[in-house]
Amino acid sequence: MPTIFSKIIAKELPSEMVYQDDLVTAFKDINPLAPVHILIVPNKEIATVDDVEVDDEPILGRMFTVAKKVARDLGIAESGYRLIVNCKQDGGQEVYHLHMHLVGGRRLGRMLAKKED
């Protein structure tokens, strides 16, 4: 099912796009949680990690190589960063179009809160 990300990929909605190719698109998160906060999304509509198929492996691999490139382009490759993929309700996924968060530019602290917020 299409989400707002499909319209961003198709450039029917504005975004601050930093990269696009035949498989993936990367753009700035509208509500950044760190100095660098980019979303890397497959151009294909895949709702969640639970929906990926073996045939999607080239897309999933491209998401990582693009994460590396964008991190380098934005100057956080040396200091480091975190890649986050939320899945469904308990994972905190809000937009049901698979996406990888690339966050960095500051110390990010613990990977998980110790208990439920």
Applying CB under 6 A, the residues found at the interface with ligand AMP are 4, 15, 29-31, 39, 86, 92-95
The minimum distance between CB 52 and ligand AMP, in angstroms, equals 15
Instruction: Give catalytic residue positions.
Output: 99
Count how many Cα atoms sit within 13 Å of the Cα of residue 42 in the half-sphere of its side chain.
21
The minimum distance between CB 1 and ligand AMP, in angstroms, equals 14
Q: How far apart are CA 108 and CA 65, in angstroms?
A: 22
Minimum CB distance to ligand AMP smaller for 31 or for 114:
31
- Select from 9, 23, 33 the least CA-distant residue to 84: 33
